[in-house]
Amino acid sequence: MLEGQSLLQRTLAAVHCETGLVTVVGPPDLAELLDAAADRLVREDPPFAGPAAAVAAGLAGSPSAEWMLVLACDMPQVYQVVAVLAPAVAQAHSSVEALIAYDGGRQQPLAACYRRAALAHRVDELRARGELNNLSMRTLIASLEEARVDVPAGSTADVDTWAQAAMWGIRAGDHRAKGHADDAGDNPGSVDG
């Protein structure tokens, strides 16, 4: 928990808006956390098939809006990213298919807005070739026309280890017993966010 919220809850709070629908990709036990913050909970198939498969599951479970915001749920400062990405959509050139956050010059494809049609086409292409499972996000989006969106330094810093969690003041805990999600889905050994 960080400031009384799991990292998933912080992410949902950052993207909450009246007009958009939110799809969360994760295990069924996250349902108790979502309440009104998300509209759908879906799971990649097979489970743990990687970030590209998770994005594909989210894509299938989301409405057909022109743009799709994709965020990993392990970035404590994600609200800073959303504050920069959201206005970039309105200014995007019609040829741009991906607005990707760059933090200190580093690309973060799990903090990005994608044109739904372009992303769906790429997912269908890779799925037809049997290449979607265990595929990296960079490979998934390699053919998309990208625009770089510089975000505040450190805003895409993520929590992957206990040492990183300690730096943020995130405490360990059993998410099932305490009613909050860990940041890596249903891996009981993961960092509680």
Q: Say yes or no to pLDDT of 13 above 90.
A: no
pLDDT in tens, 14-52: 887 544 678 889 888 887 777 666 678 889 989 999 999
Count of C-beta atoms within a 10 Å radius of residue 185:
19
pLDDT at 90 (0 to 100): 92
Distance CA 62, CA 173 (A): 31
Quote the domain boundaries for residue 167: 7-178
pLDDT in tens, 53-110: 999 999 987 767 899 999 998 999 999 999 999 899 999 999 999 999 999 999 999 9
pLDDT in tens, 136-149: 999 999 999 999 99
Distance CA 38, CA 129 (A): 32
Whether residue 190 lies inside any domain: the answer is no
The mean pLDDT of 161-187, rounded to a whole number, is: 57
Whether residue 164 lies inside any domain: the answer is yes
Task: Work out how many domains the chain is built from and give that number.
Answer: 1
The mean pLDDT of 127-141, rounded to a whole number, is: 94
Query: Does the pTM exceed 0.75?
Result: yes
Whether residue 129 lies inside any domain: the answer is yes
Whether residue 188 lies inside any domain: the answer is no
Q: What is the CATH number of the domain that holds 11?
A: 3.90.550.10
Whether residue 184 lies inside any domain: the answer is no
Whether residue 121 lies inside any domain: the answer is yes
pLDDT at 167 (0 to 100): 86
Nearest to 176 by CA among 155, 164, 190: 190
Whether residue 51 lies inside any domain: the answer is yes
Q: Say yes or no to pLDDT of 113 above 90.
A: yes
Distance CA 52, CA 182 (A): 20
pLDDT at 181 (0 to 100): 33
Whether residue 189 lies inside any domain: the answer is no
In Å, how far are 4, 98, 106, 130 from 154, measured between CA atoms? Answer: 21, 21, 10, 35
